[in-house]
Structure 1
Amino acid sequence: MGAAVVRRAAAAAVACTVTLGALAASVVVPPPAQAATTAVRWWGADRYATAAAVSREAFPKGAHDVVVVSGARFPDALAAAPLAAQLGGPVLTVPPGPLPAVVRTELERLSPAVVHVVGGSSAVGDDVVRQLAPLASGGVQRVQGADRYETAAAVATTAFPSASEVVLASGQDFPDALAAGSAGAALGSPLLLTERGTLPAATREVLTALAPARITLVGGPAVVTPDVQQQLRALLPGTVVVRLSGDDRYATAAAVARDTWETVPSPLLASGEGFPDALAGAALGAPLLLTRRDCLPSATARAFTDLSVQDVTGLGGAAVLSDAALGSTPCP
């Protein structure tokens, strides 16, 4: 995905709370981006085929580990992107029913030793797991909890025994968590989930165990209230809490990209109106920006300019990501 440069905020030495969304109001807005130099599309006939296409492009030589999540329900799937990056494999999505032929074919090509299923049987059914088992030489391992918060905590406990940074986002919707997951995947940081106004017990427990130096809270105060920030400060008084946010999901994703990468010559671009295609891309640890279906939001266009974008890889077919949006046609 190009030579993206990962950076860290310089103020990590002192415990504080920084709200980048508020700071953005005092920054001069740059001119709209020019159309990207080139644009390509990774896609399939549906969300399952698109995830398989992303896997083929990113892992042409196969993968030892593959992460499988529900492509129909987002809550348990959100924490999968940093897990897949940590394991060095792709995320594939499955429906509630039979394993799609396109997913089976991709798993046969990848020839994994282990398939890691994220989520309980209500997210990825036991029958699907039985169909997955013969496709992994070392079998299937399920990572789950009683709810979305416990599942994300279980992923963190399983794959991240230590982490200097944790990414935190709302578990009640997917857009901010998609951008958070891409940052976590790039930085080797787990993604934990929170309720709007209360830090769940499972999330508290993992944060206490990890005691990270920094918590990156993704999303504005309407999505995750200041009460959660106060609870974080009380739980871990020595930890820096940085909030990354914007006026909407597109601006928030742009804020995450600016904070995580110095330049982004080749970002991924996915719909901000659905989760499966963006989730498959977030697992690659590459910069992920979001768009409307039919046009490029102004916040994303400004990020193209700020981050020196040269070419874009779109995720998903024209039904979810139009040629106009992929070609940087601005929204009215």
Structure 2
Amino acid sequence: MNRPALRRTLAPAALVLGLAATSLGVAGPASAAPAAGFETLRPVCSAQLPIAHPGCAAGTSYRGAPLPDGTANQVVQLSGVDRFATAAAIAEHGFPEADVAVLVSGEDRHLVDALSAAPLARSLAAPVLLGTRDAVPTATAAYLQQHRVRAVLLVGGADALGGATAERLRALGVTSVARVAGADRYETSRDLVALMPPAAHGWVASGEDDHLVDALAASGPAARLAEPLLLVADGDPLPAAAALTARGVTSTTVTGGPEGVAPEALAPLPAPQRAAGEDRYGTAAELAVESVDRGLDAEDLLFAPGVTGHLVDALAAGPLGRATLLVGDVESSFDVVEAWFDTFGSGRVTAVGAVEIDG
């Protein structure tokens, strides 16, 4: 497929930054044959998975998100009163049946710990939910209880999700709790990737605080394609390269420009190719086009906040597995959105968190 040129015209909807409330739906049991009109999720568990996944043991299939109905300009809003409720609303949409969840910190300073979690979560047919160091927020607890989730994988160390969080999960009926946490963000990322199924292609992003947004934009495509998303350190890229090779990766999409992942960090990666724009919004668009080139539906699009302070919404939306555009309050963001609609048309657009669509 030739990569289309994005160009600007009038978009069919206006985008604003706001926050709308939504409520959780009613849980349904997992099923052997999910209903027509919904995604079917089948977990793939490695022998190294530290939690007991009921679905892997029983060969269970799960009902996932509704499939697009083919209607033009369809809008789905997934938002809550706070970031925890937004993550729960995303989980209810994408994972209405679940035995397992992945829990990450909802605090901005720990955002980096979970950047590689979305592909693993989707491979487990599990949503990404948010917690805090010492508590399980109300919306997170409600999802776990309503769905009778029995296994939770914590991502990050005790400073991100402490011992009290694990105890609270057990009080909610979770019987299998385990943690993935390395000595630093890069080792945590490699440990998550090691639990992924093998893949021929991988995605690499900077682990530096100023460039984390690039990994968020790549998480949806990586999750849909069941491919690893790995953080690479400019000063020591060899462990990342080894982790990708161990999963069978032979080609790599590098997210963002050289100010994020330095040229010298590319050399050891398997067949690296950059996807980068002039800013975070342009980079997200390049990653989205790359994902369409590799098989994702261009008319089933996710809008996530690209503004610092709301990036966590994109983290929770990654397991939905959709091409993702970041939305902000700058002209370049709107230019990218308008160009996308002009090039690909508009089918279903799912807006999460602080992004609202005013049609």
Taking structure 2 as the reference length, what is the TM-score of the superposition? 0.75
How much has 1:28 moved relative to structure 2?
A: 7.0
Alpha carbons of structure 1 residues 293 and 44: separation in structure 2 relative to 1, 3 Å: farther
1:1-332 alignment, distance < 5 Å: 27=5, 29-35=7-13, 37-60=73-96, 62-72=97-107, 73-135=110-172, 137-160=174-197, 162-172=198-208, 173-195=211-233, 197-232=234-269, 239-261=270-292, 263-273=297-307, 274-293=310-329, 296-316=333-353, 320-321=354-355, 323=356, 326-327=357-358
Q: Could you say which residue in structure 1 is the equivalent of 2:39?
A: none
Alpha carbons of structure 1 residues 164 and 28: separation in structure 2 relative to 1, 3 Å: closer
Q: Is residue 94–residue 103 contact of structure 1 (8 Å, CA) maintained in 2? A: yes
Q: Is residue 202–residue 222 contact of structure 2 (8 Å, CA) maintained in 1? A: yes
Length, aligned pairs only? 291
Deviates more, 1:67-76 or 1:123-132: 123-132
Tell me the alpha carbon deviations over residues 198-229 of structure 1, each in whole angstroms, 9 at most, x when there is no partner: 34453233134234121111111121121112
SS in 2 for 1:174: helix
How much has 1:306 moved relative to structure 2?
A: 2.2
CA distance in 2, matches of 1:154, 1:97: 23
SS in 1 for 2:111: coil
Q: Is residue 157–residue 206 contact of structure 1 (8 Å, CA) maintained in 2? A: yes
Structure 1 unmatched runs, 5+: 1-8, 11-19, 233-238
Deviates more, 1:96-105 or 1:181-190: 96-105
Structure 2 unmatched runs, 5+: 14-71
Amino acid at match of 1:145: G
How much has 1:158 moved relative to structure 2?
A: 2.0
CA distance in 1, matches of 2:222, 2:261: 18
Q: Is residue 129–residue 316 contact of structure 2 (8 Å, CA) maintained in 1? A: yes
Q: Is residue 204–residue 231 contact of structure 2 (8 Å, CA) maintained in 1? A: yes
Amino acid at match of 1:224: V
Moved over 6 A (4+): none
How much has 1:30 moved relative to structure 2?
A: 4.5
Tell me the alpha carbon deviations over residues 58-94 of structure 1, each in whole angstroms, 9 at most, x when there is no partner: 222x202210001112111101111111101110011
Amino acid at match of 2:298: V
Q: Percent identity?
A: 35
How much has 1:186 moved relative to structure 2?
A: 1.0
SS in 1 for 2:182: coil
How much has 1:53 moved relative to structure 2?
A: 0.8
CA distance in 1, matches of 2:223, 2:6: 30
CA distance in 2, matches of 1:40, 1:294: 23
SS in 2 for 1:81: helix
Amino acid at match of 1:271: P
Q: Could you say which residue in structure 1 is the equivalent of 2:33?
A: none
Taking structure 1 as the reference length, what is the TM-score of the superposition? 0.81
Q: Is residue 217–residue 325 contact of structure 2 (8 Å, CA) maintained in 1? A: yes
Amino acid at match of 2:73: T
How much has 1:95 moved relative to structure 2?
A: 2.0
Q: Is residue 237–residue 268 contact of structure 2 (8 Å, CA) maintained in 1? A: no
